Structure 1
Amino acid sequence: MLSKSVIEDVLTAALSTGGDFAEIFVEDRFTNNLTLQSGRIETALSGRDFGVGIRVFKGFQSVYAYTTDFEKEGLLKAATRAAQAIKGKTETRVAPFIERSARILNPIEILPQDVEKARKAAIMNKTYEIAKNYHSSISQVTVRYMDEEQNVLIANSEGTFIEDKRVRSRLAIQAVAVRGNRMETGFYGPGAHQGFEFFENLNLEHYANEAARIAVTMLDAAPCPSGKFPVIIDNEFGGVIFHEACGHGLEATAVARDSSVFANRIGERVAPEIVSYIDDGTLPNEWGSINIDDEGENARKNILIENGILKGYLIDKFNGRRMGMESTGSGRRESFRFAPTSRMTNTYIARGTSTPEEIISNTEHGIYAKYMGGGQVNPATGDYNFAVMEAYEVNNGKLGRPLKGATLIGNGPKTLQQVDMVGNNLGHGAGMCGSQSGSIPVNVGQPMIRVSEITVGGTKGE
């Protein structure tokens, strides 16, 4: 992508005013986005984005610059611009590059760039037909197709020199059901760190029917009561609560500044013994998986909470300096336009021993959240509120009528302490996570869990 001699000269320029570490991140990205609505392709957008990011450290100071000019003169100009913000006397030399190959944890069989749009459209049309024909009340189906190929080169003044190819594919299905003046929406968005083979092997019947089923089911939902109840949260995307309310608090971005409720608590009990919380970027072909992070570190499995005890954090290079700790392979960024920082990959509560049937039958009265929707959280405190896309009442150990308008309100660390049953049906859900280094693909996951008490916000009757 760039020659070693050019990269060495750029890093040398970045260190010219006294920096003690310099890094270059070269990115060449291809994207394809198609949208199908009302049985026809409405949009088909393809693009290519190329750029270079240059970062310089001096102690606890970090400076970042980027450019879309990949000529040597333009790169040296960007490196010099970054260096000018650094004041120091120590001269750091660029170490000889040790070129290594990224481990292929996410094998790609079919590059989407090699697949004609007609094959992609065929997948979308089939998905549309399945969802549209689910029930007569389905009035609209929108199918969004996405694939991307991101080629990166990462080199730094410590001798790192590594290239990586990342290929991701995702299908998003939204169904709208209408009855009279009532309208409900269902959604499912599976994704993977895979090529076009992902779409060819995807169970379209399952995902399209689920999106439609949610919409149709919620047409008959009663207003959710409000109060404090035991809440059963199902697997897969149910893990979004702990991703937001706990996961971000375990990132060094917050911990290094003591702006996390988990800061300086290694070795403390933060959850019941039945809870282990893991971030694992090495799961083959999962949506949030990586071969290497965006600082050139190998992906790894990081155990954050083990049997209720806080064991570690997610750490990038710069915040690792602040904390006196090594990187955990967690430095990620949306693109060359962002400096990396500590981020999650596939973060989940580990599998427990209870069956879903046991968890429901052991709940006398409560709320069952089958599919979570969006929400918001204060990362400094862990306070959150999340909408539930599909919910049910639980009475005498059995599922009752569907409920609409359910909102879960609470505090992440406190909710973590109140998990009293963990299921054996671990599953992952694909999503996008936004933070200071941009929007990145992540998986959230868990088995079905029960929380002994969460404040539930409901809706007034119609």
Structure 2
Amino acid sequence: MFDDTKVLKALKTGNAVYAETFAEETRYTLIQLESEKIEKLEKGLDKGVGLRVIRPWQTFFASTNSHEESHLIELAKELVRSAREGRGEVKEGSLQLARYPFAIETPPRDVGTERKLRLVRSVEAAARKMEKRIKQVKVLYRDTDQNIRIAASDGTQVEENRTQLVMTLLVVGEEDGELQTAYEAIGGFCGFEFFTDERIDAFVKTTVQRLSGLLGAMEAPMGTKTVVLASEAGGTMIHEAIGHGLEADLAMEGLSCYKGMLGQTMAAPLIDIVDDKTLPFKRGTYAYDDEGTASERTILVEKGVLKNYLFDRFHAMKYGMRSTGNGRRESFRYKPIPRMSNTMILSGPHDPAKIIASVDDGLLVKKMGGGQVDTVRGDFVFEIQEGYLIEKGQIGPMVRNATMMGNGPKVLREIDMVGTDLGFGIGTCGKDGQGVPVADAQPTLRMPEIVVGGRGE
């Protein structure tokens, strides 16, 4: 292990306003089962160090797999030469260890590979048993045990251990020559105790029942409709169509439709949006971000008014703001950038059943698919993986091959009912070539006018 202070002093000999070391050791297991065969089984250790120097307003970054102090000091000197010569100060700090208000009972590192393989195989077997029209099953299991240590020239010194689990299930079925696909993911910042029999049963049943419905579903009709986005859909739309536009690198630099809107009304008065890194067991949770800033619950939108953006240190310093603890990176190989954590629209006053009952002719969305978003204009297109017609206040037949198109700012302003419930989804968010674990959530929402695409009449 290297001396953080010595490396920081080598980094801060340049005319930098900030210097940082990010040391990481991550142990992981990856299992991929496809078509009843284990296609991939990986166990490994990935470790290294990222060095960063900031001077107004440029970032100089380098990474290495070595933890050798002499090598890191030489790398720091090379980085400084790139950032020009000068003088700098390194403040002393005391090491802060991450603490959580929840406990990991069974760390995945303490669970044998055979037990993990049995779990993966049991998921596949259960799916095939439940639906005979299944042609393909793909199960992915991954656990990571990440230890990070961050030291910075402002005196920051933190150490944190993060445990992540995720399992995904993809099933493909065929009916009358047509293929349909259903997908689901579960996991979080948790131990192996997360995988209870009840949770696994529900996971498989939800995925397979969605596939069964799609195999017999009618084609979605086209047109402008009232759309009810159920809480169980998770917060995919809020994450993609709104959340990215509130990340400071986009919002402060003209790449977001929400640029310059702090203090202004951007949504209906019923809408409150937060990014909360402190939630127990959620996939986007951490005690410190990847720059050593303590996590917090950041209020982004309150009663429709934009209150804040998601800041990392670089953009906070550049624009005279405060970091919200959203500086995140995939690993030591990448510099941190503003990213979401657990992002959600908060619950509102309306009974979800009454929201559905209020719609005469519309679409109920229970699961979103992939999509595209233009953060500058706010326009979006999303696939709908699970949707049902709403006919005279009642849930009607399932539809397939549906899409929904709209504009994020417009949709936010027009939402007129917000449910008392709250449903979470998980994912790995990609941005600038980096993937980080996230969660998103929302209550049941009513959107009066959304363009629905489909192949039906």
State if a TM-score over 0.5 links the two structures: yes
Match of 2:343 in 1: 347
Of 104, 117, 124, which residue of structure 2 is paired with 1:121? 117
Query: What runs of 5+ residues in structure 2 fail to find an aligned partner?
Result: none
Post-superposition shift, 1:129? 2.5
Post-superposition shift, 1:259? 2.3
Trace 1:373-392 onto structure 2 (pairs within 5 A).
373-392=369-388
Query: 1:68-96 CA deviation, whole Å, 9 max, x = no partner?
Result: 1221222112212221121354x212111
Post-superposition shift, 1:261? 1.7
Trace 1:136-285 onto structure 2 (pairs within 5 A).
136-200=132-196, 203-285=199-281
Match of 2:48 in 1: 51
Query: 1:227-268 CA deviation, whole Å, 9 max, x = no partner?
Result: 211111111444211211110111111122132221221221
Q: Is the 8 A contact 1:237 1:430 kept in 2?
A: no
Is 2:22 aligned against 1:21?
A: no
Which 10-residue stretch deviates more, 121-130 or 387-396?
Answer: 121-130
Separation in structure 1 between the aligned mates of residue 135 and residue 294 of structure 2, nearest angstrom: 47
Q: Is the 8 A contact 2:225 2:363 kept in 1?
A: yes
Match of 1:362 in 2: 358
Separation in structure 2 between the aligned mates of residue 326 and residue 431 of structure 1, nearest angstrom: 27
Is 2:416 aligned against 1:420?
A: yes
Post-superposition shift, 1:456? 1.2
Q: Is the 8 A contact 2:233 2:366 kept in 1?
A: no
Cα RMSD for the two superposed structures: 1.5
Is 2:65 aligned against 1:73?
A: no
Separation in structure 2 between the aligned mates of residue 459 and residue 134 of structure 1, nearest angstrom: 29
Percent identity (aligned): 36
Post-superposition shift, 1:106? 4.9
Match of 1:42 in 2: 39
Separation in structure 1 between the aligned mates of residue 232 and residue 52 of structure 2, nearest angstrom: 36
Is 2:287 aligned against 1:291?
A: yes
Separation in structure 2 between the aligned mates of residue 424 and residue 273 of structure 1, nearest angstrom: 15
Match of 2:30 in 1: 33
Of 116, 128, 150, which residue of structure 2 is paired with 1:132? 128
Separation in structure 1 between the aligned mates of residue 299 and residue 354 of structure 2, nearest angstrom: 27
Post-superposition shift, 1:42? 2.9
Separation in structure 2 between the aligned mates of residue 440 and residue 105 of structure 1, nearest angstrom: 22
Which 10-residue stretch deviates more, 225-234 or 149-158?
Answer: 225-234
Q: Which amino acid aligns with 2:82?
A: A
Separation in structure 2 between the aligned mates of residue 71 and residue 333 of structure 1, nearest angstrom: 22
Q: 1:255 to 1:372 in 2, by over 3 A?
A: same
Aligned residue for 2:76, secondary structure, equals: helix
- Structure-2-length-normalised TM-score: 0.97
Post-superposition shift, 1:105? 4.1
Of 328, 335, 352, which residue of structure 1 is paired with 2:331? 335
Is 2:442 aligned against 1:446?
A: yes
Separation in structure 1 between the aligned mates of residue 433 and residue 344 of structure 2, nearest angstrom: 21
Query: 1:406-437 CA deviation, whole Å, 9 max, x = no partner?
Result: 11111111111111111122011011111127
Separation in structure 1 between the aligned mates of residue 155 and residue 425 of structure 2, nearest angstrom: 37
Query: What runs of 5+ residues in structure 1 fail to find an aligned partner?
Result: none
Q: Which amino acid aligns with 1:260?
A: S
- Structure-1-length-normalised TM-score: 0.95
Aligned residue pairs, count: 457
Q: Is the 8 A contact 2:326 2:339 kept in 1?
A: yes
Of 321, 324, 328, which residue of structure 1 is paired with 2:320? 324
Separation in structure 1 between the aligned mates of residue 383 and residue 342 of structure 2, nearest angstrom: 22
Q: Which amino acid aligns with 1:128?
A: E
Separation in structure 1 between the aligned mates of residue 222 and residue 196 of structure 2, nearest angstrom: 43
Aligned residue for 1:242, secondary structure, equals: helix
Post-superposition shift, 1:146? 0.9
Query: 1:137-164 CA deviation, whole Å, 9 max, x = no partner?
Result: 2333222111011110000011111110
Q: Is the 8 A contact 2:232 2:366 kept in 1?
A: no
Match of 1:10 in 2: 7
Aligned residue for 1:290, secondary structure, equals: coil
Q: 1:178 to 1:412 in 2, by over 3 A?
A: same
